[in-house]
């Protein structure tokens, strides 16, 4: 074989290697190409309804007024709704990671495993996204638009926010009270029962002068009463609860709030009996620590001997 033929063969091999290397780079390029999935700038003023659907489970968050939302018929936490708009507007970088339907199931953005996020706006097309699984090794989630084969990786908390359960969107506040409106308290803590009364600037407990600093901290604790969660009907059927505590807060014109606390092995079930706040027959969950703060031992409100 002549030297000329050898040079031609070598040149052909170089060309093949270059072509192979180029095809590998192109096939991997989808992992690092910056995406162009532009989302409109949205706020809670623009959107009327937010829905998150996965399979047969659906969460519908609807605006009731400029300052109130509901989630599946329950009051929604404004902070939770606000966080969704914050993460959508945070300018997180997008990376194109796939552009073929064969990748949808693996990345969790197919029609069955993906979470369909839809934000409806009056007089404008809705914003729709399919949010997939969390990306391994860093905070982020895969997403795509319905009908589009391009799948993007979006850094940030969007995947965590969209993955909330209904209870995660609900408002856990049981009641809010103005401190100056409180004129009396009746507390039952097992066998420890006491009445706190205000006369002008002076407070007494069962006729004894209270520790003003301790009582002030207690009154501050009563201004916002929030649960740690909600009891499910299944949990209520299986738990053995004992009604051991009760709190009644009174104002100048009557009862402001009454709560009953049922003790369990892991905390308390809380029933809103009367007064401001509360949501129907909802049974709330509270920790031992929080209930101790709402129904403190009588000795903690008196001057130390």
Per-residue pLDDT tens, the chain, 305 aa: give them: 566 555 655 555 554 555 445 444 434 444 444 446 778 888 899 999 999 998 889 999 999 999 999 999 999 999 999 999 999 988 778 889 999 999 999 999 998 889 999 999 988 999 999 999 776 555 789 999 999 999 999 988 899 999 999 999 999 999 999 999 999 999 999 999 999 999 888 999 999 999 999 999 999 999 999 999 998 776 666 566 677 899 999 999 999 999 999 988 888 999 999 998 888 888 999 999 999 999 999 999 998 87
Which CATH number fits the domain that encloses residue 156? Answer: 2.60.40
CA–CA separation, 93 and 115 (whole Å): 20
| Same-domain status, 76 and 200 | no
Cα distance between residue 264 and residue 242, in whole Å: 7
| 3-state percent breakdown (helix, strand, coil) of the chain, nearest 5 | 30, 40, 30
DSSP characters for 221-281? HHTEEE-SEE--HHHHHH---EEEEEEEEEETTEEEEEEEEEE-SSSEEEEEEEESS--TT
Classify residue 178: in a domain, yes or no: yes
The answer to whether 175 and 83 are in contact (CB under 8 A) is no
- Let me know whether 207 and 294 are in one domain: yes
Q: Are residues 196 and 294 in the same domain?
A: yes
Q: Are residues 155 and 242 in the same domain?
A: no
> Do both 193 and 222 map to the same domain?
yes
Does residue 244 share a domain with residue 128? no
Beta strands (DSSP E) in 167-240 are 173-176, 184-189, 192-199, 202-205, 208-209, 224-226, 229-230
Q: Does a structural domain hold residue 220? A: yes
The answer to the question of residue 26 being in a domain is: no
Same domain flag for 134 and 177:
no
- Asked whether the beta carbons of 6 and 13 are under 8 A apart, the reply is no
Query: Do 221 and 290 sit in the same domain of this protein?
Result: yes
CB 131 within 8 A of CB 140: no
- Residues 181, 141 within the same domain: no
Determine, yes or no, domain membership for 21: no
Residues 217 and 248 in one domain: yes
Asked if residue 199 and residue 144 are part of one domain, the reply reads no
Q: Is residue 24 part of a domain?
A: no
The answer to whether residues 35 and 164 belong to one domain is yes
CB 117 within 8 A of CB 128: yes
Domain assignment of residue 234, given as a range: 173-301
- At residue 4, φ and ψ (nearest 5 deg) are -65, -45
**Structural domain tally of the chain?**
2
Residue 204's nearest CA partner among 183, 179, 227, 223 is 183
């Amino acid at each position: 074989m002549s030297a000329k033929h050898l040079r031609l063969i070598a040149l052909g091999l170089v060309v093949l290697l270059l072509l192979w290397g180029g095809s590998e780079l192109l096939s991997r390029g989808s992992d690092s190409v910056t995406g162009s999935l532009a989302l409109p700038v949205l706020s809670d003023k623009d959107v009327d309804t937010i829905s998150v659907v996965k399979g047969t489970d659906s969460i519908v968050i609807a605006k009731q007024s400029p300052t109130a939302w509901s989630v599946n018929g329950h009051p929604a936490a404004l902070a939770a709704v606000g966080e969704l708009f914050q993460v959508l507007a945070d300018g997180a970088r997008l990376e194109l990671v796939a552009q073929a339907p064969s990748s949808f199931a693996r990345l969790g953005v197919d029609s069955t495993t993906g979470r369909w996020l839809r934000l409806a706006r009056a007089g404008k097309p809705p914003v729709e996204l399919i949010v997939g699984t969390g990306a391994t090794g860093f905070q982020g989630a895969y997403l795509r638009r319905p009908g589009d084969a391009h799948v993007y990786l979006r850094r940030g908390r969007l995947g965590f926010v969209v993955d909330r359960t209904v209870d995660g969107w609900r408002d856990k506040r049981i009641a809010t009270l103005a401190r100056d409106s409180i004129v009396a308290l009746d507390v039952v803590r097992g066998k420890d029962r006491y009445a706190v009364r205000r006369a002008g600037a002076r407070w007494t407990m069962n006729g004894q002068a209270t520790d003003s600093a301790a009582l002030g901290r207690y009154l501050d604790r009563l201004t916002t009463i929030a649960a740690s969660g909600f009891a499910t009907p299944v949990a209520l059927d299986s738990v053995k609860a004992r009604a051991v505590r009760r709190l009644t807060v009174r104002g100048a014109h009557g009862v402001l709030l009454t709560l009953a606390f049922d003790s369990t092995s892991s905390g308390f079930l809380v029933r809103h009996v009367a007064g401001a706040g509360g949501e129907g027959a909802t049974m709330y969950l509270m920790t031992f620590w929080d209930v101790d703060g709402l129904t403190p031992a009588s000795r903690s409100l008196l001057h130390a001997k």
